[in-house]
């Protein structure tokens, strides 16, 4: 079966299902299929993403501060050892 006939057959089946089903059933079935498909993927909600972005930004800020503090301490130590 070539791709054109496959998609034409698929389109025909979808059209037939749409014509023979009430709109609410179609919407419910499409949502269920999409939810099931998305659950197989490794996705996170927008809320979870935003929270993790905030945590990452805070962690980066703390890391930058620690790197600066470490550089200052290293320069102090080097100055003391030079004396």
Q: What is the pLDDT of residue 10?
A: 66
Q: Which two tokens stand for residue 59?
A: 């962690």
Q: Are 18 and 26 in contact (CB under 8 A)?
A: yes
pLDDT digits (tens, 9 = 90+) for 12-59: 777 776 677 676 677 777 777 677 766 777 778 899 999 999 999 999
Q: What is the rounded CA–CA span in Å between residue 52 and residue 13?
A: 42
Q: What is the CA radius of gyration of the chain?
A: 29
Domain ranges of the chain: 1-42, 44-83
């Amino acid at each position: 079966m070539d791709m054109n006939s496959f998609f034409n057959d698929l389109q025909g089946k979808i059209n037939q299902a749409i014509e023979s089903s009430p709109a609410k059933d179609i919407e419910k079935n499409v949502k269920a299929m999409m939810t099931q498909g998305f659950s197989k993927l490794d996705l996170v909600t927008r809320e979870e993403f935003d929270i993790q972005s905030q945590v990452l930004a805070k962690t980066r800020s703390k890391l930058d501060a620690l790197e600066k503090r470490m550089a200052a301490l290293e320069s102090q130590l080097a100055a003391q050892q030079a004396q």
